[in-house]
Amino acid sequence: MNWHDVWIVFGREMRTAFRERTVIVNGLLMPVFLYPLMLWAAFTALVFVQGLTEGYTSRVVLLNVPEAHRALVDTLRAREDVDLREAGVADALWMLDDGELDAVVEVLPAEGGAAALADNFRVRVRYDRLEERSIQARIRIREIIDDYQVGWVQREAEAMGIPEDELERFRVVPRNVSTGREMGAIVLGQMIPLFLVVMVAVGCFIPAIDTTAGERERSTWETTMTVAASRLSVVTAKYLHVAALGIIAGVLNVVAVFVSIGAVLRPLLGGSDGGLSFSIPWLAVPVMSAGAACLALLFAAAMMILAAFAKTFKEGQAMVTPVYGLVLLPLVLGTQTDRTLTPLLAAIPVANVAMMIRDALAGVFHWPLIAETLAVTLTLVAGCMVLARGVLRFEEFLLGSHDGSVWRFLKRRLGRGRHGPAGRVQAGAEALGD
Partner 1 sequence: MDESHGGTGVNRGPEGRSVDVRDLRKTFWDESRGEVRAVDGIDFDCQPGEVFGLLGANGAGKTTTLRMLATILRPSGGTAHMAGYDVVERPEDVRRNLGFYSASTALYPRLTARETLEFFARINHYPSARVARRVGELIERFGITDYAGVRVEKLSSGMKQKVSIARTVAHDPPILVFDEPTVGLDVMNALGMRNVVRALRDEGKTIIFSTHIMSEAEKVCDRIAILHRGRILALGTLEDHRERTGKHYLEDIFVQYVTAVPGQDEEVGAPYGPAANGPDGEPGA
Residue ranges in contact with partner 1 by CB under 8 A: 5, 8-9, 12, 15-16, 19-20, 218-220, 222-223, 225-230, 395, 398-401, 412, 417, 419-421, 424-434
From the CB of 12, what's the least distance to partner 1, in Å? Answer: 5
From the CB of 234, what's the least distance to partner 1, in Å? Answer: 9
Cβ distance to partner 1 smaller for residue 312 or 426 = 426
Torsion of CA 370, 375, 381, 385, to 10 degrees: 160
Cβ distance to partner 1 smaller for residue 158 or 430 = 430
Query: 132 exposed, middle or buried (CB, 10 Å; 0-12, 13-18, 19+)?
Result: middle
Rounded to whole angstroms, how far apart are CA atoms 59 and 103?
A: 7
Cβ distance to partner 1 smaller for residue 21 or 129 = 21
**Distance of CA 393 to CAs 214, 389, 433, Å?**
20, 7, 7
From the CB of 310, what's the least distance to partner 1, in Å? Answer: 15
Bridge partners of 294, per DSSP, are none
Cβ distance to partner 1 smaller for residue 17 or 188 = 17
**Distance of CA 84 to CAs 62, 75, 77, 89, 126, Å?**
7, 10, 6, 14, 15
Is 169:113 a contact under the CB 8 Å cutoff?
A: yes
From the CB of 138, what's the least distance to partner 1, in Å? Answer: 58
From the CB of 248, what's the least distance to partner 1, in Å? Answer: 18
Rounded to whole angstroms, how far apart are CA atoms 81 and 348?
A: 50
User: Nearest 5°: phi and psi at 132?
Assistant: -60, -40
From the CB of 30, what's the least distance to partner 1, in Å? Answer: 20
From the CB of 267, what's the least distance to partner 1, in Å? Answer: 41
Rounded to whole angstroms, how far apart are CA atoms 351 and 361?
A: 15
Is 233:6 a contact under the CB 8 Å cutoff?
A: yes
Cβ distance to partner 1 smaller for residue 314 or 419 = 419
Is 427:223 a contact under the CB 8 Å cutoff?
A: no
From the CB of 23, what's the least distance to partner 1, in Å? Answer: 10
Cβ distance to partner 1 smaller for residue 27 or 291 = 27
Cβ distance to partner 1 smaller for residue 250 or 400 = 400
Cβ distance to partner 1 smaller for residue 226 or 272 = 226
Rounded to whole angstroms, how far apart are CA atoms 237 and 8?
A: 8
From the CB of 203, what's the least distance to partner 1, in Å? Answer: 18
From the CB of 212, what's the least distance to partner 1, in Å? Answer: 14
Cβ distance to partner 1 smaller for residue 229 or 341 = 229
Cβ distance to partner 1 smaller for residue 245 or 398 = 398
**What is the number of other CB atoms lying within 10 angstroms of the CB of residue 190?**
15
Cβ distance to partner 1 smaller for residue 155 or 218 = 218
From the CB of 432, what's the least distance to partner 1, in Å? Answer: 5
